[in-house]
Amino acid sequence: MLLLLDIQKKLLPDVLDIMVKRYRILHYIKLMQPIGRRSLSANLQISERVLRGEVTFLKEQGLVHFASAGMSVTEEGEQLFLKLEDVMKELLGLRELEVSLEQKLGVKQVLVVAGNSDQDDWVKREMGRACISELKERLVPKDVVAVMGGTTLAAVAEMMTPDAKTSEVVFVPARGGLGEKVENQANTISAELASRAKAQYRLLHVPDQISEEAYSSLVLEPSVKDILKLIKSASTVIHGIGDASTMALRRDSADSFIEKIKREEAVAEAFGYYFNRSGEPIHKQRTIGLQLDDLGDKYVISVAGGHSKAEAIAAYMKYRPSDVLITDEAAAESLLKLHM
């Protein structure tokens, strides 16, 4: 297959360009369906005139369905898309990025999706789809899966679909989250994952950040003790990696704390820890839920993308390389340019 692609690149480059373009159109429709032609044109930055011809071709091939609500991918289109994925990874250079990042970051497996999630929200959904696919490869009945909060993890939840592997799984929040936007809280995300997977879930109704005194009191509550025990029994953990300053602002941190992390050059945040460029934790905020020390032999999936997250991803991976890193093309290219 690779030899054939190399030959085609030299002899029939126009054919490959057309295939890539049609794959991207089919891909975007699949992620955002149902979607109208005008919205599709704007997001893919293809003129409506050109796009009209392309989607008409896809419809004639039985790959796309037109309806008043918008375009959607047919079952035949879904099957073709799955068959094309590995080929397109090679054509778009994503496989090469994955191998290079695995070597540079010391991560067992890196999955790179096309695009830049700083610019396009659909890229987060694609990272979410890759995360769900990876998760389902590992799931067994009675598994407990702990998930963190954030916009990227919310996109992961949107891409969950039910199957035989998910029905007996329990989704739990990896930490408290009251005080953040509801849609980005770990509680909301774990409940959404369970709902879409037709699985079970448990919630942790405690604030994300609390004082030492409040922490000592809350962890003794029987209901909190029970859910914490379940959370710490999780076999798989899914989390994002945040930019340090952005996370501090999002959590309404005091000005003195924001100045501290700037002074100490913190670039990353995960699990309540703030890391500098060398991957050294420079601050730990008291939170109820999973701590870095609890990860042990758990299977850890990190999901983070966008050019702006490159330094944060690199810093966290220096401290604890994950089992799987799911990222996007923009972050991957920026990571490879970093001096580490």
CATH numbers and ranges of domains, the chain = 1-90 (1.10.10.10), 93-337 (3.40.50.1360)
| pLDDT reported for residue 177 | 67
Residue type for position 42: A
| pLDDT reported for residue 267 | 93
What separation in angstroms does the CA of 8 have from each of 2, 15, 95, 96, 114? 10, 8, 18, 19, 21
Count the alpha carbons within 13 Å of 88 in the hemisphere toward its beta carbon: 20
CA-based nearest residue to 242, from 251, 229, 254, 255: 251
What single DSSP character describes residue 172?
E
What separation in angstroms does the CA of 248 have from each of 41, 46, 97, 319, 331? 37, 38, 31, 20, 21
| pLDDT reported for residue 134 | 95
Residue 191, pLDDT above cutoff 70: yes
Looking at per-residue pLDDT, the higher value among 189 and 340 belongs to 189
Cβ(46)–Cβ(56) under 8 Å?
no
Q: pLDDT tier at 212 (50, 70, 90 boundaries)? A: low
For residue range 231-243, list pLDDT tens digits in order.
Answer: 999 999 999 999 9
| pLDDT reported for residue 104 | 95
Taking the alpha carbons of 162, 164, 166, 170 in that order, is the dihedral positive or negative?
positive
Q: pLDDT tier at 215 (50, 70, 90 boundaries)? A: low
Taking the alpha carbons of 33, 35, 41, 43 in that order, is the dihedral positive or negative?
negative
Cβ(260)–Cβ(247) under 8 Å?
no
Task: Report the Cα–Cα distance between both ends of the chain, in Å, rounded.
Answer: 35
Q: What is the pTM of this model?
A: 0.85
Percent of the chain with pLDDT over 70: 91
Which of 126-130, 211-215, 220-224 has the lowest average pLDDT? 211-215
Looking at per-residue pLDDT, the higher value among 176 and 236 belongs to 236
Cβ(87)–Cβ(81) under 8 Å?
no
| pLDDT reported for residue 253 | 74
Residue 155, pLDDT above cutoff 80: yes
For residue range 14-63, list pLDDT tens digits in order.
Answer: 767 788 888 888 988 988 888 998 888 888 888 888 888 999 999 999 99
Q: In what order do the strands lie in the sheet with 170-173?
A: 109-113, 324-328, 299-303, 236-240, 144-147, 170-173, 200-201
| pLDDT reported for residue 306 | 95
Cβ(238)–Cβ(301) under 8 Å?
yes
Describe the chain by its helix, strand, coil percentages, rounded to 5.
55, 15, 30
Count of H-run helices and E-run strands, the chain: 15, 13
| pLDDT reported for residue 283 | 87
| pLDDT reported for residue 110 | 97
